[in-house]
Amino acid sequence: MALKATVHKVDLAVSDMDRGYYASHALTLARHPSETSERMMVRLLAFALYADEMLAYGRGLSADDEPTLWKKDLTGNIELWIDVGLPDERELRKACGRARQVVLVTYGGRGAGIWWNANEAALARLTNLDIIDLSAESTAAMAKLVDRTMQINVSIQDGQIFIGNAEETVLVEPVTIRRSAENQ
């Protein structure tokens, strides 16, 4: 018998002073049986970083042709494609051909550095790709916030992110590994 996804309900409050974005979002996150708490929280943080009323989750690990998150315009064109993890560089090239802007959020410490060193040359010509790395310490601390029902607050100011619940707050300081030509 196949294992089913675990459903998490999240009330997410985003205060992004860098973008001037302040809103609450009621989200339902389906956590695939093979997905870690850490990856799920990185997905949630990626949503908070680019929060918008048009931003939506893709089908996740079960769909190769969809990102973790995406934002489409009213005509169906993909404005923003957000992926999480360490994908194959061919998948990123395809995404860059389909979307106006592509963002990859890496995590996992040393593994992300090894992935970047192996793929940097192949990704150099992708002008619409941003890559952000999160430290292993911060993502491990975020994983401790996981519960079936969560009230998460995210505050973003001067590139620093504070994510937490009523009991605990985690400081996340993302490192930009690569900036797209548009964002330089």
What is the per-residue pLDDT across 130-180, written as a single tens digit (0 to 9) for each?
A: 999 999 999 999 999 999 999 999 999 999 999 999 999 999 999 999 998
Least confident of 4-8, 67-71, 104-108: 4-8
171 within a domain of the structure (yes/no): yes
Is the distance from CB of 81 to CB of 57 less than 8 angstroms? Answer: no
Strand order in the sheet with 55-57: 55-57, 69-72, 78-84, 99-107, 129-134, 175-178
Is the distance from CB of 48 to CB of 163 less than 8 angstroms? Answer: yes
Give residue 56's pLDDT: 94
1 within a domain of the structure (yes/no): no
Instruction: For Cα atoms 178, 135, 139, give the angle at the middle one, nearest 5 degrees.
Output: 120
- Asked whether residue 112 carries a pLDDT value surpassing 70, the answer given is yes
pLDDT tens digits, residue range 18-75?
999 999 999 999 898 889 999 999 999 999 999 999 999 987 655 667 899 999 999 9
Give residue 145's pLDDT: 97
Is the distance from CB of 69 to CB of 47 less than 8 angstroms? Answer: yes
- The SS3 call for residue 159 is coil
154 within a domain of the structure (yes/no): yes
- Distance from C-alpha of 87 to C-alpha of 97, rounded to nearest angstrom: 16
Give residue 61's pLDDT: 58
117 within a domain of the structure (yes/no): yes
Give residue 155's pLDDT: 98
- Residue 5 Cα to chain centre, angstroms: 19
Domain at 147, CATH number? 3.10.640.10
φ and ψ at residue 53, rounded to 5 degrees: -65, -20
Give residue 58's pLDDT: 87
127 within a domain of the structure (yes/no): yes
Domain of residue 72, residue span: 6-183
- Into how many domains does the chain fold? 1
Ordered DSSP codes for 44-78: HHHHHHT--TTEEE--GGG-TTS-SEEEE-TTS-E
Is the distance from CB of 84 to CB of 95 less than 8 angstroms? Answer: no
- Asked whether residue 9 carries a pLDDT value surpassing 80, the answer given is yes
Is the distance from CB of 152 to CB of 167 less than 8 angstroms? Answer: no
Give residue 65's pLDDT: 77
